Structure 1
Amino acid sequence: MAQASWFTKALWLILAGALAESLWVGRYQTAFIAVATFSLTLVPMALARRFEIYVPPSFMAALTFFIVATLFFGEVWQFYDRFWWWDVLLHGGSAVGFGLIGFVLVFILFQGDRYAAPTWAMALFAFCFAMTIGALWEVFEFAMDEGFGTNMQKSGLPDTMTDIIVDAVGGFIGAGSGALYLKGRASGGLPGMVADFLERNRKRFGRK
């Protein structure tokens, strides 16, 4: 079952403070974004509870941070404009996360310990999964810029290629962490997070 860490609660407190301040000064659009962002952070926890899946608090905190950093810090507080590295940070972090998710998905497909593919193939699938999500996001950015006149791509091709390169690095880290788990080297860090998730949910993935 998902649990809220102190870091997640701190992010919620920031959103609550921003909501109160926005209502006080009459910035209702900002207040709406704060409420919407908070609501989205609850979705992963609700899904985990609904399907009775344990999610490590550290991973849930990272997911919550990504949502808040993208929608509120990035857009409302304009971190994308104030810090050149903000977009790179979020792309890299999300790619690592999608690499881990891709590994978990292929692990579930192979149902536990009886692997139907070698470690390198499972890691490659996880890497490709992360890259695919990253590429689809770039398509989304292009569609928004062309259809609604936004500036999500900023400098155009250089921004897109930088994002893809960062996605590749992050996906490699995520997929590599899954491979280390399969090699029995999950003593901590990201491999340890994978081990924690799979061990706590083993009854859902094992063969019957």
Structure 2
Amino acid sequence: MNRLRLWGKAVKMEIREHKSTFAVYVILRALVIVMMILQILNKNYENAFLCILTLFLFIVPSIIQLQFRIELPKTLEVIILLFIFSAEILGEISSFYILFPMWDTVLHTLNGFLAAAIGFSLVDLLNQSERMEFKLSPLFMAIVAFCFSMTIGVLWEFYELFMDQFMGLDMQKDTIIHSFHSVLLDPTKSNIPILVDNIKDVVVNGKSLGLGGYIDIGLLDTMEDLLVNFIGAFVFSIFGYFYVKSRGKHHFATRFIPRRKKHSRDYLHIVKEQSRK
């Protein structure tokens, strides 16, 4: 219990460290709490649980900073908080994914950018370690950051597929198309793709759905997500490359790359020392 109390105090100090970040945290936290109360009053307990999960995710960046003794730039931390709020509260509960078709695309692009920044920082911190007997080139670090981001994107698509197949959700959103090619329709069984064109409607169990086209179940959505993740990862990898070349001097990428925490801001260590006195 004493250990949890120490962590709780250190997390509070970490959250309050940057005034701008703390202000965003307080505002978003208040909005989530209000949303949670409304969901409970409406007896929508699944969304209420999602709000609780969001509140926990808000403190994860601070926990990571304490545990690994790294400093998240204010810009990166604010974007992470806004990303969590946009994905969970606005996207899921407020149905922004449905109301604004580009909402999911924007978030996946941002995810690719941020994941590349995190992957780059992991290599950069390792590269600056005095224990390392070799140094990695800027190009190699950029490639690792890009591959790390794409791996995170692929794993997320695996997660969406799992939830759709086994939990009955629809995270891989459907797309209405008007033509497609399929070898299944080849009467000669010769692996020849047959064009089905000018599709006007889909009939399911004898009932017209009135969609004006054919339903592509998740494939195009998944590929679009990976494509925009690719764009976000590629853009940051370029920034990361020039960041290392200039060693971070007056560079845009410094706003997104975590660095080692100064000893004077190692709040977990400070709290532990205070408890011993």
Asked if Structure 1 and Structure 2 have the same fold, meaning a TM-score greater than 0.5 normalized by the shorter chain, the answer is yes
Once residues 192 and 59 of structure 1 are traced to their aligned partners in structure 2, the CA distance between those partners, rounded to angstroms, is 9
Match of 1:40 among 33, 53, 57: 57
Residue 88 of structure 2 corresponds to residue 88 of structure 1: no
Q: 1:102, 1:129 within 8 Å by CA — same for their partners in 2?
A: yes
2:261 aligned with 1:201 = yes
Give 1:98's aligned residue.
Answer: 115
Instruction: Read off the aligned partner of 1:39 and give its amino acid letter.
Output: F
Higher deviation after alignment, 6-15 or 87-96? 6-15
Distance (whole Å) between structure 2 residues aligned to residue 105 and residue 32 of structure 1: 32
Equivalence map 1:60-71=2 (5 Å): 60-71=77-88
The answer to whether residue 183 in structure 2 is matched with residue 120 in structure 1 is: no
Alpha-carbon separation, structure 1, partners of 2:59 and 2:112:
21
Distance change in 2, residues 1:21/1:35 (3 Å): same
5+ unaligned residues in a row in structure 2: which ranges?
1-13, 175-217, 264-277
Partner Cα separation in structure 2 for residue 145 and residue 27 of structure 1? 21
Tell me the residue number matched to 1:206. Answer: none
Separation (CA, whole Å) in 1 of partners of 2:144 and 2:103: 28
Separation (CA, whole Å) in 2 of partners of 1:125 and 1:60 = 22
- Alpha-carbon distance in structure 1 between the residues aligned to 2:48 and 2:163: 23
Give, as a single letter, the amino acid of the residue that structure 2 aligns with 1:131: M
Structure 1 residue aligned with 2:168: 149
Decide which structure has greater helix share. 1
Once the two structures are TM-superposed, the CA of residue 24 in structure 1 deviates from its matched residue by: 4.3
The one-letter amino acid paired with 1:34 is C
Shift of 1:141: 1.1
In structure 1, the residue matched to 2:35 is: 18
Looking at structure 1, the residues matched to 64 and 57 of structure 2 have their Cα atoms a distance apart, in angstroms, of: 11
Kindly indicate whether the alpha-carbon contact (under 8 Å) linking 2:74 and 2:255 is maintained by their aligned counterparts in 1: no
Counterpart amino acid of 2:32?
L
Hey, what does 2:250 align to over in structure 1?
A: 187
Deviations for 1:119-150, whole angstroms, at most 9, x for unmatched residues?
Answer: 11110110011011101111111122122221
Aligned CA-pair RMSD? 2.3
Match of 2:150 among 116, 131, 134: 131
Structure 2 residue identity aligned to 1:59: L
Residues 243 and 251 of structure 2 are in contact (CA less than 8 Å); yes or no, is this contact kept in structure 1? no
* Structure 1 equivalent of residue 214 of structure 2: none
- Percentage of pairs with the same residue: 31
Q: What do the CA deviations read for 1:24-81 (whole angstroms, capped 9, x no partner)? A: 4544443332222112211221231344322122211111122222222111111111
Say which structure is richer in strand. 2
Indicate the residue corresponding to 2:274 in structure 1.
none
CA 1:104–1:22 in 2, change beyond 3 Å: closer, same or farther?
same
Larger Rg over CA atoms:
2
Letter aligned with residue 161 of structure 1: M
Aligned to 1:5, the other structure's residue is in SS state helix
Q: Compute the displacement of 1:160 (Å).
A: 1.0
